[in-house]
Amino acid sequence: MQQVLHKIWSHTIQPMLSRPRRLQVAALCYRQAKDGPADRREVLLITSRDTGRWVLPKGWPMAGKTSAESAAQEAWEEAGVRRGRFEDTPIGRYEYDKRLDNGTLEPLETLVYGLEVIEILDEFPEMHQRKRHWVAPKDAADLVDEPQLRDLLSRF
């Protein structure tokens, strides 16, 4: 009986009571590695402002921009990616819970857009608030906390 009640709770009642996930967009910035095989890629990770965790540049969709354009704008503001090539179709998605200033958790769904970096600058809007690091996708997967993002990076 307890298993039946747990199944009803977890599959029916709890999802109805949960807030829907808000949407964010992220840029998976990449380039061809400068050394090694010609087909080896590196991805760009940045630190979050609050905890210093390694993350992708991400933020909220912007009025007047597509989701991919919004992700590219975040890549400029947070990581200094001035120019790049991107597709309008996301290469993946992941979910996580963002801890707000008041301590509550906000459930988020993040659409990830690939962004091939053409030009990156050392001076950008959030340069004093973040660090950035080019790494192999498998190494990036080891550095991020979100399991679904880890899987996406491992497959990239």
- pLDDT digit string, tens, across residues 96-143: 998 888 988 889 999 999 999 999 999 999 999 999 999 999 999 999
Cα 39 to Cα 31, 119, 145, distances in angstroms: 10, 19, 27
Instruction: State whether CATH 3.30.1370.10 applies to domain 20-155.
Output: no
In this structure, what is the dihedral angle of CA atoms 108, 87, 29, 146, given to the nearest 10 degrees? 30
- Give the start-to-end residue ranges of the domains of the chain: 20-155
**What pTM did the predictor assign?**
0.84
